[in-house]
A = this chain, B = another copy of it.
Amino acid sequence: MLAEIITIGDEILIGQIVDTNSAWMAQQLNSAGIRVKQISSVSDDREHILQALAEAKKRADIILITGGLGPTKDDITKKTLATYFNVGMIENQEALANVTRIFAKYKRPLLEVNKQQALVPGNCEVINNHNGTAPGMWFNEAGKVYVSMPGVPFEMMYMMEEQVLPKLKNTFKLPFIMHKTILTVGEGESFLAERIADIEDNLPPHIKLAYLPKLGQVRLRLSGYGEQETSLANEVNYYAGLIVDRVSNVVAAEDDIPLEKAVLDKLIAQGKTLSVAESCTGGYLSHLFTQHAGSSQAFLGGAVSYANELKESILGVKNETLWQYGAVSEEMVTEMVQGALSNFKSDYAVAITGIAGPSGGTDEKPVGTVWIAVAGPDNISVKKYTFGNKRKQNIERTAITAMGLLNTLL
């Protein structure tokens, strides 16, 4: 079963907002066994909307439309749908009662323009909007279902969850879709592909493998399509197991979670704590951990020792080490990680020092030179990396790499 999502309105096309609605809808549809064939953002323009509807109809059975339902003049979705279906507009009593109720609740006068929100194309079934004034609309024409919903995220989300998805499940016989994601860190897409080439080649046609790379990490996602939930799950898990066994040295999680969450989960499961000493990543690694609820169970905190003085005062690195080897050196990062372990009293520690750039590099230590140390109760690993010359990427890549090293140590 195929669906398409059409988003109407200029906010997305001028880049003022990011289209988070479509991603959320796509997730919901996929979980319900409905594949999304295309997502289109089109302008508040009658001809353009008509064209988008006609194109979507050729490819999909279900067409979900958001946006363009407000009371202002530039919101033209309803009239365009009436034109598309070649029907007139009628006043819907349920929708009128809803608008009246909301205006009474907020003690606002009901203007003519608000009453018009109850006007809908004659061939639609109204989907009551419990969280706003614009009604949703369900059309069933020539075997295709069209649903028009408001663009306000929470209004759309409640309407989808409470009414549209259950109604779609009743209307269509849906296949079962199962995704399984394996998070790897520290090996490139093409090397992974080579290591698991035979497994990939032998996948049955209804199971697909996708490589989703992102700064030092690659997500391997298996997607299975079938009729029978249990057997499909078993099959997808079987192939996931083959892949995990093959590349186990770089697997961080067998789930679709961020790397730092995988590391935190391991620490929490082992009842261990972590502290950090960050120089060139400047708090980014700490931020990655602490954005997750519950991180305080394992993450104690640490130092952002940007200035050399702070490396000495907070981490207790020796002044001689600084002037003898420099701030970006194996000796320095080793003292930093030891300083974090002893001063912050954590089981594990990560220390990072490097030159994020764009300036500050030398011939011997160019921009992108980074030393990372990870240490546990009885082991320490210190490595040097040479990344590129882009500051933001150096910061991100360093944090990801440090977490990869920590993941291996755990």
Set of chain B residues within 8 Å of A43, measured between Cβ atoms: 37-38
Instruction: Say yes or no for A227: interface residue by CB 8 A criterion.
Output: no
CA distance A47 to B296 in the complex (A): 50
B282 touches A286 (CB 8 A): yes
Please classify the interface of chain A as helix (H, G, I), strand (E, B), loop, or mixed, using the class held by over half of its residues.
mixed
CA distance A285 to B256 in the complex (A): 27
Residues 208-247 of chain A, each 1 if its beta carbon lies under 8 Å from chain B, else 0: 1111111000000101000000000000000000000000
Instruction: Say yes or no for A55: interface residue by CB 8 A criterion.
Output: yes
A114 touches B190 (CB 8 A): yes
Set of chain B residues within 8 Å of A221, measured between Cβ atoms: 16
Instruction: Say yes or no for A142: interface residue by CB 8 A criterion.
Output: no
- Among residues of B, the one whose C-beta sits closest to the C-beta of A276 is B304
- Among residues of B, the one whose C-beta sits closest to the C-beta of A289 is B282
Instruction: Say yes or no for A14: interface residue by CB 8 A criterion.
Output: yes
B114 touches A357 (CB 8 A): no
Interface centre among A39, A154, A211, A343 (most CB of B within 10 A): A39
Instruction: Say yes or no for A319: interface residue by CB 8 A criterion.
Output: no
Instruction: Say yes or no for A17: interface residue by CB 8 A criterion.
Output: yes
Q: Which chain A residues numbered 1 to 45 have a C-beta less than 8 Å away from chain B? A: 10-20, 22-30, 35-43
Instruction: Say yes or no for A173: interface residue by CB 8 A criterion.
Output: no
> Smallest CB–CB gap between A204 and chain B, Å?
16
CA distance A88 to B24 in the complex (A): 39
Set of chain B residues within 8 Å of A131, measured between Cβ atoms: 388, 390, 393
**Set B189, B194, B314: member contacting A70, Cβ < 8 A:** B189
CA distance A348 to B386 in the complex (A): 34
B314 touches A306 (CB 8 A): no
Instruction: Say yes or no for A193: interface residue by CB 8 A criterion.
Output: yes
CA distance A295 to B281 in the complex (A): 12
Q: Which chain A residues numbered 128 to 164 have a C-beta less than 8 Å away from chain B? A: 131, 152, 154, 158
Residues 41-60 of chain A, each 1 if its beta carbon lies under 8 Å from chain B, else 0: 11100001000100100010
Interface centre among A26, A55, A256, A309 (most CB of B within 10 A): A26
Stretch of A71-79, A118-126, A330-338, A376-384 with 4 or more beta carbons under 8 angstroms from chain B: A71-79
Instruction: Say yes or no for A291: interface residue by CB 8 A criterion.
Output: yes
Q: Which 3 pairs of residues, A with B, have the shortest CB-CB distance?
A: A282-B290, A283-B286, A15-B27
